[in-house]
Structure 1
């Protein structure tokens, strides 16, 4: 007896096949044990912020595993797994093997990205922070994460530095080569020589300090020190920000703008770029001018054009011996690459630089009692604001004539100021005296006694008494006898407006009038 096949079976098998295809083609954020990613496959974080897969920078045919921003069509890479071991062909795969290790393999090459040896109870997941984690499935313990192995980029949520483990960031070799470049970024207290236990950013080129800066400006607003680590402030963890140490050694902070779907460089401290002003220059964080020559120096002129970026040269060359003086600069960030002398006294430190023909500047660190001297070109000198706690004193060696010239210039300026001030004060005094005299004359005119109310007998008696008293004491000068003072209005009224009828006569002092009978006497 033959069996009939239900028409629902083919439909079920078709749906099952489609479901398997959709499952294989669906976007996931996880690589399970035994699973692999080929050069044409990727995983995407849960909210679609980041993507992980293979990439080839520029026109290169080399294959790298990296993480980039999903929405950025230019594939801005923020992390590279195998920057020192690129794979030359497209047959490479990324696998979470049964041992729990994350491995890139292709042909005869193999590179271990994460060695956990945790067995099959593991999985790798790409988070929306851009962090790739290898985690134990049951306990949830994080065995390995890309945030602890950064390349050239710091992302929000990443601990920028752990002072106890020697964290660092390394630039790309070039814009199209992810291999480690010559520049490394550190955040800590590398320069206990200079600032004790203070924390700051510093970039090294090989074994030399290339650039350093305190956590100031925008960086101070974004980064915060928590215990022995520096991390992003919580309000920025959801923003599309990245801090990059580029191939030229510059630290750049960039923000994503949805308007034009591109990255924009955020303002950094004015003097943030290393050696921005060139040799023997000073960069000011507090003025619009920015770059200026150090005292005793002038701008380099090339082809008749002055350029602040070319640096400065001495106006007068130094003479070897005790023919030099020091010009003090305050509230500055010291130049790069000082030498430390085994001297713990500021006077001895000055003397050591003064007698050393190669020494061009010195500073004494009172915090750590260290003597610092500079012998090469002065680079990266910064003038800080008065309230900046990183400011230091710095002493620049100059020819004595430079110091006397500066004193002469100051005296000349002071002389000009006094020449302008003294005449102004004199005019003000003369004008004040004139006003006083006018007002006094007016008061005397308006406030004299009324002659019509005068008791003449009392006045004469009083004056006679005063005169007699003066003679008795042997002092009969006229100035000591008080005479009555009358207002012009009362005199005019008493003489009927100086009427001729009241005129008694005329002498050497002018006419004499008699008072009207209505006056009291």
Structure 2
């Protein structure tokens, strides 16, 4: 061996003689990191070392949380090239690049720096960022934050460096055992109006809609106002990126892509439970699926079908409109002429997710009127809006061609609303001056209301000091509730102070009392801005505890359907627990159908509309919402009526959430209301969507007859309403069941069909009952119905619980089974 070869070999082996023996936060050029040694950041937040994921024996270099007991990897270096033994070594080579070597000094991974460093140092920061820099200099030559894996950490930019062409994008692990890149990715798609897009392979899977200065039109949860973290979206000539930062260092939160569930998920670490709690996820529901309803289609959760058309358009395949046809979308009802601009208008649409921005044009200096003029003069312009709605709105966005991937998004506060103006015939034209004046008036009203609310709050100053602690307590309690685990993000509904509620209800005056249930009193209230509300004030002796209260807040805040009551907010102060709902001026359904005078107001046509509305609401709960929900306390007193007598299902305190394909469960704590329980639930504690179907069958009988199932005695005093109705059906006298108040409005064929459907819902065996999608079709169809089998009868004369208060929703009952003839 000549002297040159010896020197070369010695210099190449030199790093192996400076292997770290103690954990620190950095290594320098002569040092290296090998198996069994980890780098730990200065304040011990993160660690860097070698690990094997899941059940794999492969070794990877990664970064994980160092301050929690569950090993959670947030970054992987050699995702594409695992090491199959313990030979891995991290070092800085002679050219100043960070390299990972495997057996036989093969390069398994390398990080090329922007320039060669004279005295390089590799350091793990407390942000979880691994950086390469010149010693005694702050600028990074390379950083792991520029090359994320599946996890998004605070301070990490997602997006583009337009100067270098670098894209920072999340890619999911293929599986828990394999960190190599999967199909799912999440990053900013560069268009004239950039937005975050989730791809599966090369296909779009979900998009947030563009950033409008306050949030994303299609992802209302990703907004700046948040108790845990803040977002920052930056777009300029050098960079386009999205970043989040935690409000307090006491919270640990991360976001990641999950290949298995095909979701973007955000988690918060719950130290008391020593586990990660799901905070939010996207896509949330079917309507978040990319372009599900095709061009000009509007996806609306709660509608049946969920794919509707934007107003002014019609289904392209109207004769065969089914899920297989939705992608074809909608076409204009009236074709527009390009030449005659006087016949063109731009009506305003509110609450829509902004269309796909692929074919858009943006000018940040134009105002809305200038934007409209430019769109009118361009025949290809389909719609326009402000590019930034912050501070009253500015900039111009125009869309060309078909409008794709639109959905209806629930209003998330006045500031989050974004208007879009779509090209239509002039008959639908909007006067923009009037709209501008209305917006100004709206701002004035908001300011006045805000001042009035502050003045009202000052009347009871001692309540204010408790608000922060109460909010924190509520959020922490939500995270540890087994039934609603992982749903803590849904507590983000408005918080009302006790002072506000006291003023609104005139200190809970008896004149404002709307009703009383098993869990407390309900009051009518009027906020300072004149908005009417209903306040459900839980009794301190109520059997609905914090568990049921949180359940109701979470469920109703998430659910958006025309036939479900809308939750406006909540209040917890001291021993007070209150839910604030939209006010239903016509009260509950039982106040009509069980009152001989008021029952006459409800003709059959109105009752049938109420039946169909309840059915649609249940269908949404069981099949169309993101999670399957069993109400468990469906009864006429829990059906509220708005000003137009539209029904809304309320009281979700005892509802249960099912995920995925789960269809049934059981419990030792039988809850519900006497007279509406399905036999299998009352006897064995088994509940499912079919339990709600049984309760719906009872509702049908009560609406048709105007009589209560419990306490309705007939003939020999041994039967309840179900038994009496079945007896009349068997004897060919079903019309005798009809409420006498329906005279003059009866449609016999429709009533008999509803009665028949009721019996199908009341089958003794739950497998014989139809699901709600079948019920909805049967209500609107004319085809023949199957013959009902044995009915499930209970609450007969032999029940030992007849003395219990009907308003109670927790029961211990004796069941009497009567066999149908």
Question: Alignment partner for residue 409 of structure 2, among 383, 392, 407?
Answer: 383
1:132 aligns with 2:130: yes
Q: Is the 8 A contact 1:171 1:181 kept in 2?
A: yes
| Aligned residue in 1 for 2:198 | 203
| Aligned residue in 2 for 1:220 | 223
Give TM-score scaled by structure 1 length. 0.54
CA distance in 2, matches of 1:373, 1:246: 34
**Alpha-carbon deviation of 1:232?**
2.9
Question: Alignment partner for residue 35 of structure 2, among 39, 52, 77?
Answer: 39
CA distance in 2, matches of 1:388, 1:271: 18
Count the aligned residue pairs.
350
| Aligned residue in 1 for 2:401 | 373
**Alpha-carbon deviation of 1:249?**
5.0
Structure 1 residues 62 and 105, CA, compared in 2 at 3 Å: closer, same or farther?
same
Structure 1 residues 369 and 264, CA, compared in 2 at 3 Å: closer, same or farther?
closer
User: SS where residue 134 of structure 1 aligns?
Assistant: strand
1:294 aligns with 2:297: no
| Aligned residue in 2 for 1:260 | 273
Alignment of 1:110-259 (within 5 A): 110=107, 111-115=109-113, 117-119=116-118, 121-162=119-160, 164-165=162-163, 166-176=166-176, 177-187=178-188, 190-192=190-192, 195=193, 200-210=195-205, 211-213=207-209, 214=211, 215-216=215-216, 217-221=220-224, 222-225=230-233, 228=236, 229-233=241-245, 235-236=247-248, 239-247=251-259, 250-259=263-272
Structure 1 residues 34 and 270, CA, compared in 2 at 3 Å: closer, same or farther?
closer
Question: Alignment partner for residue 353 of structure 2, among 333, 339, 342?
Answer: 333
**Alpha-carbon deviation of 1:369?**
7.4
**Alpha-carbon deviation of 1:329?**
7.8
Q: Is the 8 A contact 1:67 1:77 kept in 2?
A: yes
Stretches of structure 2 that go unaligned for 5 or more consecutive residues are 1-18, 225-229, 317-321, 337-344, 362-373, 387-394, 426-604, 607-642, 645-821
CA distance in 2, matches of 1:315, 1:43: 55
| Aligned residue in 2 for 1:304 | none
1:103 aligns with 2:99: yes
CA distance in 2, matches of 1:239, 1:372: 44
Deviation digits for residues 80-125 of structure 1 (CA, Å, limit 9, x no counterpart): 1122222233322212335433211112420323445324x22212
Structure 1 residues 146 and 315, CA, compared in 2 at 3 Å: closer, same or farther?
closer
CA distance in 2, matches of 1:263, 1:338: 36
Q: Is the 8 A contact 2:375 2:383 kept in 1?
A: no
Structure 1 residues 84 and 329, CA, compared in 2 at 3 Å: closer, same or farther?
farther
**Alpha-carbon deviation of 1:244?**
1.7
**Alpha-carbon deviation of 1:330?**
1.4
User: SS where residue 222 of structure 2 aligns?
Assistant: helix
Structure 1 residues 329 and 117, CA, compared in 2 at 3 Å: closer, same or farther?
same
| Aligned residue in 2 for 1:505 | none
Q: Is the 8 A contact 1:82 1:113 kept in 2?
A: no
In terms of fraction of residues, the more strand-rich structure is 1
**Alpha-carbon deviation of 1:292?**
3.7
Deviation digits for residues 399-458 of structure 1 (CA, Å, limit 9, x no counterpart): xxxxxxxxxxxxx99xxxxxx99xxxxxxxxxxxxxxxxxxxxxxxxxxxxxxxxxxxxx
**Alpha-carbon deviation of 1:54?**
1.5
CA distance in 2, matches of 1:259, 1:348: 60
User: SS where residue 265 of structure 1 aligns?
Assistant: strand
Q: Which has the larger radius of gyration?
A: 1
CA distance in 1, matches of 2:257, 2:161: 19
**Alpha-carbon deviation of 1:44?**
1.6
User: SS where residue 266 of structure 1 aligns?
Assistant: strand
Structure 1 residues 293 and 329, CA, compared in 2 at 3 Å: closer, same or farther?
farther
Structure 1 residues 28 and 276, CA, compared in 2 at 3 Å: closer, same or farther?
same
Stretches of structure 1 that go unaligned for 5 or more consecutive residues are 1-22, 299-306, 354-361, 398-411, 414-419, 422-521
CA distance in 2, matches of 1:24, 1:107: 19
**RMSD between aligned residues:** 4.9
User: SS where residue 247 of structure 2 aligns?
Assistant: helix
CA distance in 1, matches of 2:274, 2:290: 30
